Structure 1
Amino acid sequence: MRLYFLCLFFAMGHISSAQFLEKQKELTSFDGYFKFHYNQAKDEIYLEVDKLDTEFLYVHSLATGVGSNDIGLDRGQIGKGVVVKFEKAGNKLLLIQLNQRYRAVTDNTLEKRSVAQAFAKSVLYGFPILENKQGTYVINFTSFLLQDTHGIIDKLKQQKEGNYTLDKTKSSLSLERTKAFPKNVEFESLITYKGGVTGKNIASVVPNAKLISVIQHHSFVELPDDGYKKRVFDPRSGALSISYLDYATPVQEAIKKRYIIRHRLEKKNPEQEISEAKEPIIYYLDPGTPEPIRSALLDGAKWWNQAYEAIGFKDAFQVKMLPEDADPMDLRYNVIQWVHRSTRGWSYGASVIDPRTGEILKGHVSLGSLRIRQDFLIAQALMNQPYAMSDENYQPMLDMALARIRQLSAHEIGHTIGFAHNFAASTHGRASVMDYPHPTITLTDGKIDLSNAYDTKIGVWDKVTVAYSYSEFAKEANEKKELTSILDKAYQSGLRFISDSDARPLGGAHELAHLWDNGRSATEELEAMLKIRKIAIRNFSVDNIKSNEPYSVLEDVFVPLYFFHRYQTEATSKLIGGLNYNYAVKGDQQTVVEVVDSKKQRKALEKVLETLSPEILAIPKDKLKLFPPRAYGYQRTRESFNGKTGVGFDALSAVSTASDMSLRLLLHPERTSRLVQQKSLDKNQLGLSEMLDQLITSVFEIDVENRYHSEIQHMVKSNLLKHMMNLCITKKAYSQVNAIAYAKINKLIPILKSKTSNPIDAMYNKYYLDQIHGFIERPEKFEVLPSPKIPDGSPIGSLSCGLF
């Protein structure tokens, strides 16, 4: 009898479970890769899982953003795609993320198992089983969709914007773009966060900063078949890559495997020299992009087809408008999104890839809508009185800005099709759209010419990267040799590839790789840029703004002109203590590494020292009359000049900012250590002692009779002194650097004690002497005093559009 009731109990439980979906009223069903049902009355989604232990791809993203570049939570921001699977565990289904970093690529099942058991996996969620109908399990999927999956709580905390928690009472499922397709299912949910505000950025973009609501997107996607062929990564190729450890690798071979990322692209007719693709790569532009920007983005994006044509593909890369009913977060679409923020910031290209192979499944470009205004502002500052005759004379400036947007479109798409930055490309003409280009401004008959500011096509290096990543080879060909041949020919033609960290202005040291620069010679380009800047400042007038605009706008336009040389100064400074090297491999005949020639280093130092001269730093007196206290409603922003004179325009703090920039570059601890080392290896090389002597001579030992220029020189002296003191005590440089800087500070003492006929200069010299003596007595008390902060520059230019 007891056994009877026990069996009856389990039978009734099974019947009850089997009837779960039947009990739900008015379900809306979606039939796709996974079948699911929406219960409007309860605002719940029930997922039918019929693929236990089947691997698939899970991607989360933000369908709507917060709207602040500083916070970094943009519309369309994609999370990393991960391989997951459902496993049954008792009365639950577990969604498990598999560990792709450690593998055993072998047919030996036990060897694979040993690696899988050696490294942890991650259970993303556990779901009680509501119904089991012949091996298909029904689970309530709602709570999974209403998590803080995108990590917004941690992001806001890291950015010091506030401590927020998820408010489930104000969160719900979102059905507008919740859809099912044969190979993917898409879910969305409105997530609300509540909390206390501690930062200014969040308050500037949210109607009620105590409540932040965004829409999260989730995708479950069928993994591609095994027809994709992985291609080996080469550091010279310019390709992005994935990597993992393969424990099935023979001992004599490298255990770490590296493969490039790329879209799957195959010829319809591989035997033909030129063939259409089986499936072309198609990118779709956000229909919310306005004209004339829309046309410019389409034009720039289409440049990539030139590179695919060069390797025998016809119309393999296409760009179209996204259908209005399509979801840009849908994994089936490669998308170019036009993203709005309250402040300008970086555009970027991201890809969803198959972590197992590196195959790109979706490219997603996010273009900041304020970027185009930066180039317009630069052009507005450079042009000679553009609004003198008419407020409608904006076309030359708009043309330059649109030219930049074309290049930017091509650049960011380049990342999503698998390519890294190439910051050495600008030394070989305009070899790559994957460089950061500064507008190329020239002088024609003494007049500033903007007509050739940006390129109009794909670069020769871009064709090399496409050839390496996407070329198809005959079956009998040796792929490794073919790929090596592509790179060898490129380097023999003079092309170079140097990427991110090597190009940075402070940490980098490469002679040729720089951000926002032009030309083979950084020094010569700086000289040319200073000439253009001088002419543009001389021509600058009230006619650089439209009628009835406040003079405060004129001040904003002047900012990128005054700092016009900043990036070329960065590039030139990198020659000092600089290196010339390649990502060389054995047998490729490239230069491995060498120190920059001493003549180039000394010439670069001479030119950077010029940026510290009063003639360069001084804002002409007649221009100062154009900058009154700020107009009502036109407050300064972080992209304005900073100063210490209250409402008045501070010409001397602008000098302090600009000179501090040059000195910070020259006296960067890592650079000074390289100077010590290179001098020890070659007595004819530029050394730190020589550089400091030249700085002291050009800053402390020149006579300036003009009182305005004299005050400018004192701003530079103050900056040089603090940077030298910093070198004395920094632990980021050799102790030899500390010793040399200490000796040179002592060298300043007799210079400052020498008599001067000007009582003001004598007073300042006494102040510097007191600083030096105080530093020598108590160096541990020294703190680097900041100069007024330089207005935001990267991703190039300045633009007063902040809401602060």
Structure 2
Amino acid sequence: MRVRMWLGAVLLVGLSTAFAKREAPPSATDGMTAQTGFIDVHVDAMSARVLVGVHALDAPMLMVTALPGALGSNDVGLDRAQAGEPKLVEFRRLGAKLLLVQRNMKFIADSVVSDEVMSARDAFAESVLWSGDLLNDDPEQGPWLVDMSSLIASDQHGVIDRLASVQQGQYVLDADRSGVLTTAAKSYPDNAEFEALLTFSGSGSGAFVQQAVADAKSITLRQQLSFVRLPDAGFNRRAFHPASGGWSVGGVDFAQPLNRDLDVRWQARFRLQKNDPTAARSTVVKPIVFYLDRGTPEPVRSALLEGARWWTQAFDAAGFIDAFKVELAPAGMDLADVRYNAITWTHRATRGWSYGGGIVDPRSGEIIKGFVNLGSQRVRQDLLIAEGLLAAHAPDADPALQQQALDLALARLRQLAAHEVGHALGFAHNFAASRTGNGSVLDYPHPIITLDGEGRVQLAKPYAIGIGDWDTFVVAHAYSEFAPAQTATALATLRHDIAAQGYRYVSDADARAPGDAHPDGVLWDVGSDPVASFDHLLQVRAAALSRFAAGALPADRQSGELERRLVPIHLLHRYQTEAVARLIGGAEYDYGLGGDATLGTHAVAAPRQHAALQALSRALAVDTLALPASVRAALTPPSTEYSRTPEYFTTQTGPLFDEAAATAAATALVTQFAFAPQRLNRLAWQQSREPMMPSLREVFDVLVASPWREAGRTNMRVRSTRNWVLLDAALNLLAGSQLHATVDAEWRGRLRAFAAELGAMPATNIDAGEGARLIVRYLDAPETVKLRPLPTIPPGAPI
């Protein structure tokens, strides 16, 4: 997961006062411990006060927050070492006060003409973030001295807003239980660092804070506040290209000529300069160095170091020798300090996402600091899945299987480290890379699972080792330097060459929603042929379930945990189901500019769409949905002192495992994607122009009507549960009001005809009769019908 930190692009002109060192009057700082630097720091430990000496007014700098002491909840997101949104600020004098003003970087004029700059600046409001009384008797004779304690001990990270946004209640900052941590105040040549203890009081009613905090009514965090000098000149801005694989920094620039777009963007990247700019290969002036959290245990530590260092290959291929390094952080290093690129091992109450990002110079796109937060519990989920696939804990299992499961988890960690460091280097996700095997660490990889000759699951090489061709491309495109006149042509050649190798680029905006269209932009999918991979995973799933009961649970775990371990195996095909559904109503397209000849979209070919629809019907087969008798017999309620969590299937059967919930969740894997209104809208238009495409009628018939027509006396409850989920999903689609009017009308017509078909079935078919009555009642008087909510699917990602 990539976190984007951007402020815009601007040419900062005028209004700066020279950074001249001045001596503060002794009376104002008498008895305080002093440090000189970018901002002078004076500390009074007894009164918990920090005075700062500002050497220049109207001089822009970055203000950034971080959380060295965090909340610990994945769902809330206030993580250890989490960086806040950077702000471009400056100190200004207003009479006897010193103001801290945030510049408005959404709209600027990047011009050498000061009047143009000011016309844009004056047109949009700035924000005064804080003010303090000047303590100098004569500010002209020394630094502008001000007590900044109240700013340091305020909620600059936005903790209160974040807690409210995730429905954890209303909190207020308790000043009596908050204050500046004076020992953490530091001044360096290019940055100043401050820290405060912040206590927020509230009702404590939110489930997430109750789960993570000692007392949810009193949340105490540590906030770091950094002031950072903007980098000096000498960095070459690189215009952002949509097919670059990078992320952009930019804003609205009113200084652009009339025939140019006001939306100006630069590619985010580190400053990386060769010692010999004329050489194809050269050492560098200053390598990019990332430091790994010393709190990372073995064998995780070694895996993360190895995986993150894979990027050395890409920089070397681009001609930069020893340009990228990853080292264990020295003892005492503050990973939140903006001087260090950091990889933090982050503990939370539950498993959760990892992310990478950067703090960026708004004038140029230069990355000042890269940061990575790696959630510590997700590797345990990988281990759990591997143990379930291999039945590694069966009494007769080969002891090597447990090591094989651990090897998978560590292999995934190597991939994860490389992935998140890639974001910190300025690169975005490419969810299409899985179509080319080991295409990129910037994709979300699914493990490669095979079956041996006896039908047993094998995880010999679950993840690729090293970076892929796409990763080599993004480094070359972002960091290679060319003569100014040759840059555009050279970069275009790089983009052409990677496309010629069969690589496409699909990122987050086109990959995360259930109704997305691009068939290649899928998370956690596997292989170049979605349908073939789907069928293979169903075979793997069946093999794993056949041995699951006897071998998935370690001997030292409470017996009820077997149900929790069942979830990812029963839903093993969840991500590939989305990949298959994406073909239906799918369309291919590329990112680019008007001159790239990449315009237009191309619908997925009709045979592929029909094959995908039939594959989804196989996911709904009773034999697919029904659990083996051995699994049903082994499932046990959670032991005393333990309880189900959201990682389990829901239950309406008291303490016992609810097979209906497991069936419903597996059925909903199909409906959540196949019945996305955007997909059906697209499909209707595609079929109107190309009659060979699947029609709405065919989708309804295959995924709703045909299952209801099935007869059989085995697994009757599984069949009935599936059918009701399908019908509920078909009706809920109408309640959402997102279908085109013509599609809505056709869908209603399908339902009404189906109601007549159900009504004509024998009276002994109780489900059919009730289904017919429900459809008619809802179509005729929807306000009289309360539709059932769609099933809850336990969380899958991240893996």
Q: Tell me, yes or no, whether TM beats 0.5.
A: yes
CA contact (8 A) 1:145 1:189 kept: yes
Give runs of aligned pairs for residues 14-33 of structure 1, distance below 5 A: 21-22=26-27, 25-33=30-38
- Which of 148, 163, 166 in structure 1 is aligned with 2:170? 163
Corresponding residue number in structure 2 for 1:766: 769
Corresponding residue number in structure 1 for 2:8: none
CA contact (8 A) 1:240 1:418 kept: yes
Q: Stretches of 4+ moved more than 6 A in 1?
A: none
Q: Note the C-alpha offset of 1:789.
A: 1.1
> Aligned AA for 2:465?
T
> Aligned AA for 2:178?
S
How many pairs are equivalent? 773
Matched, 1:423 2:458: no
- Which of 198, 218, 222 in structure 2 is aligned with 1:215? 222
Corresponding residue number in structure 2 for 1:56: 61
CA contact (8 A) 2:241 2:592 kept: no
TM-score of the pair, normalised by structure 2? 0.94
Q: Is 26-35 or 522-531 further displaced after alignment?
A: 26-35
Give runs of aligned pairs for residues 156-555 of structure 1, distance below 5 A: 156-389=163-396, 394-445=402-453, 446-474=455-483, 477-555=485-563
Unaligned residue ranges in structure 1 (runs of 5+): 1-17, 797-804
Q: C-alpha distance in 1, partners of 2:211/2:441?
A: 34
642 and 47 in structure 1: CA distance in 2 versus 1, 3 angstrom threshold: same
Corresponding residue number in structure 1 for 2:634: 626
Q: Is 569-578 or 75-84 further displaced after alignment?
A: 75-84
Query: Over the residues paired in the alignment, what is the CA RMSD in angstroms?
Result: 1.8
CA contact (8 A) 1:501 1:507 kept: no
Deviations 1:336-361 (A, max 9, x none): 00000001111001211111211000
Q: C-alpha distance in 1, partners of 2:561/2:280?
A: 57
Q: Note the C-alpha offset of 1:389.
A: 4.6
Q: C-alpha distance in 1, partners of 2:144/2:160?
A: 32
Q: C-alpha distance in 2, partners of 1:258/1:24?
A: 45
CA contact (8 A) 1:570 1:665 kept: yes
> Aligned AA for 1:493?
Q
Q: C-alpha distance in 1, partners of 2:786/2:577?
A: 26
Deviations 1:233-282 (A, max 9, x none): 11011110011222222212222211100000010112222111100000
Q: Note the C-alpha offset of 1:780.
A: 2.9
Corresponding residue number in structure 2 for 1:94: 99
Rg comparison, structure with higher value? 1
> Aligned AA for 1:539?
R
Corresponding residue number in structure 2 for 1:121: 126
Q: C-alpha distance in 1, partners of 2:507/2:556?
A: 46
CA contact (8 A) 2:44 2:182 kept: no
Q: C-alpha distance in 2, partners of 1:66/1:290?
A: 21
> Aligned AA for 1:792?
P
Corresponding residue number in structure 1 for 2:759: 753
Q: C-alpha distance in 2, partners of 1:22/1:96?
A: 28
> Aligned AA for 2:716?
S
**SS at the partner of 1:435?**
coil
Q: Note the C-alpha offset of 1:70.
A: 0.8
Corresponding residue number in structure 1 for 2:699: 691
Deviations 1:284-313 (A, max 9, x none): 000000000000000000000100001101
Q: Is 505-514 or 293-302 further displaced after alignment?
A: 505-514
- Which of 657, 664, 668 in structure 2 is aligned with 1:660? 668
> Aligned AA for 2:336?
M
769 and 128 in structure 1: CA distance in 2 versus 1, 3 angstrom threshold: same
> Aligned AA for 1:525?
S
Corresponding residue number in structure 2 for 1:9: none
CA contact (8 A) 1:162 1:199 kept: yes
176 and 616 in structure 1: CA distance in 2 versus 1, 3 angstrom threshold: farther
Q: Note the C-alpha offset of 1:590.
A: 4.2
CA contact (8 A) 2:357 2:370 kept: yes
Q: C-alpha distance in 2, partners of 1:116/1:752?
A: 67
**SS at the partner of 2:634?**
coil
> Aligned AA for 2:362?
P
Q: C-alpha distance in 2, partners of 1:590/1:731?
A: 33
CA contact (8 A) 1:391 1:547 kept: no
Give runs of aligned pairs for residues 549-568 of structure 1, distance below 5 A: 549-568=557-576
Q: C-alpha distance in 1, partners of 2:196/2:206?
A: 26
783 and 351 in structure 1: CA distance in 2 versus 1, 3 angstrom threshold: farther
Deviations 1:690-714 (A, max 9, x none): 21122244311122221xx221111
Corresponding residue number in structure 1 for 2:580: 572
CA contact (8 A) 2:585 2:680 kept: yes
**SS at the partner of 1:689?**
helix
Corresponding residue number in structure 2 for 1:795: 798
Q: Is 582-591 or 125-134 further displaced after alignment?
A: 582-591
249 and 548 in structure 1: CA distance in 2 versus 1, 3 angstrom threshold: closer
- Which of 721, 745, 756 in structure 1 is aligned with 2:727? 721
**SS at the partner of 1:551?**
coil
CA contact (8 A) 1:728 1:737 kept: no
20 and 204 in structure 1: CA distance in 2 versus 1, 3 angstrom threshold: farther
CA contact (8 A) 2:292 2:329 kept: yes
Unaligned residue ranges in structure 2 (runs of 5+): 1-22
**SS at the partner of 2:560?**
helix
CA contact (8 A) 1:643 1:788 kept: no
208 and 510 in structure 1: CA distance in 2 versus 1, 3 angstrom threshold: same
Corresponding residue number in structure 2 for 1:5: none
Corresponding residue number in structure 1 for 2:779: 776
Deviations 1:516-565 (A, max 9, x none): 00111111110110010011111212332222533212222111100100
TM-score of the pair, normalised by structure 1? 0.93
Corresponding residue number in structure 2 for 1:6: none
CA contact (8 A) 1:488 1:588 kept: no
Q: C-alpha distance in 1, partners of 2:769/2:643?
A: 38
Q: C-alpha distance in 2, partners of 1:433/1:449?
A: 22
> Aligned AA for 2:371?
H
Q: Is 193-202 or 547-556 further displaced after alignment?
A: 547-556
Q: C-alpha distance in 1, partners of 2:741/2:343?
A: 51
CA contact (8 A) 1:68 1:205 kept: yes
Q: C-alpha distance in 2, partners of 1:363/1:55?
A: 21
Q: Note the C-alpha offset of 1:384.
A: 3.4
**SS at the partner of 2:370?**
strand
